[in-house]
């Protein structure tokens, strides 16, 4: 019986992580809002242990900050953070894509197209906002995984988690969906044609254009 306890405990912690992550990314928990462990435990009907562990994991993801005498809070929106995160993404993801394109097989491209169809469908559904980031990450992962750089891909996924709420801001408030859809379709075409130079140029522009739009939004929100 004792061998099964960690599995149950881990599952409960992960559920709390997912619930709190979604609340922060969606804005239900506002930037700077205190995250009181006892209140969250009562709300989620769990003990404080999985809440504390979940907050530590979310701190590692950059979504929660611990401060002396204040405890945990949802991290503030930051123009500087947008710049750093998206410039990192542009550097790492373009390199990853360049290494992946020569190795892309039909199955990678077919899977990417399938995910892209799902993402475009989700864009049209108001209640599907929570799935945008996951589907977007899946699409890019389908293209990047042929690089066979699992550690780099893990870094990219971490950056995407930190970028999630910023990307939602852009898509929801800055009218970014039409450009995102067109960019994704063009990127898939370039990858299918093994046109590495155009694919890299488009991916870099795709990421940095989003960053510029998000910086303007964040600057307005923190004024």
What long-range pairs does 153-157 form, CB within 8 A, spacing at least 24? 153/96, 155/92, 156/89, 156/92, 156/93, 156/96
Provide the 3-class DSSP secondary structure of residue 32: coil
List beta partners, residue 71: 67
Q: Which domains does the chain have, with CATH numbers?
A: 12-74 (1.10.10.10), 79-222 (1.20.120.530)
- Per-residue model confidence as pLDDT tens for the chain (223 residues): 444 444 444 678 889 988 998 888 777 888 888 999 999 999 999 999 999 999 998 887 778 889 887 889 998 888 999 999 999 999 999 999 999 999 999 999 999 999 999 999 998 886 677 788 889 999 999 999 999 999 999 999 999 988 887 887 777 776 788 989 999 999 999 999 999 999 999 999 999 999 998 898 888 766 5
Beta strand ranges found along 43-193 (DSSP E): 64-67, 71-74
Sign of CA pseudo-dihedral 149, 153, 154, 159? positive
pTM, rounded to two decimals:
0.74
């Amino acid at each position: 019986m004792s061998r099964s306890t960690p599995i149950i405990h881990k599952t409960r912690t992960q559920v709390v992580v997912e619930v709190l992550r979604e609340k922060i990314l969606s804005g239900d928990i506002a930037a700077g809002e205190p995250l009181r462990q006892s209140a969250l435990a009562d709300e989620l009907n769990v003990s404080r242990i999985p809440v504390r562990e979940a907050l530590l994991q979310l701190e590692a993801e950059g979504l929660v900050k611990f401060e002396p005498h204040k405890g945990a809070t949802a991290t503030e929106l930051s123009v500087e953070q947008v710049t750093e995160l998206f410039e990192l993404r542009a550097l790492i993801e373009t390199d990853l894509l360049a290494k992946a394109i020569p190795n892309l097989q039909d199955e990678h491209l077919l899977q990417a197209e399938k995910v892209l169809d799902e993402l475009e469908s989700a864009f049209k559904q108001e209640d599907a906002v929570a799935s945008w980031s996951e589907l977007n990450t899946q699409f890019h992962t389908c293209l990047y995984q042929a690089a066979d750089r699992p550690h780099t891909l893990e870094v990219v996924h971490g950056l995407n988690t930190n970028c999630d709420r910023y990307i939602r801001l852009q898509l929801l408030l800055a009218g970014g969906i039409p450009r995102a859809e067109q960019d994704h379709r063009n990127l898939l075409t370039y990858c299918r044609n093994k046109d590495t130079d155009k694919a890299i140029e488009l991916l870099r522009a795709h990421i940095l254009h989003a960053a510029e739009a998000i910086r303007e939004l964040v600057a307005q929100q923190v004024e």
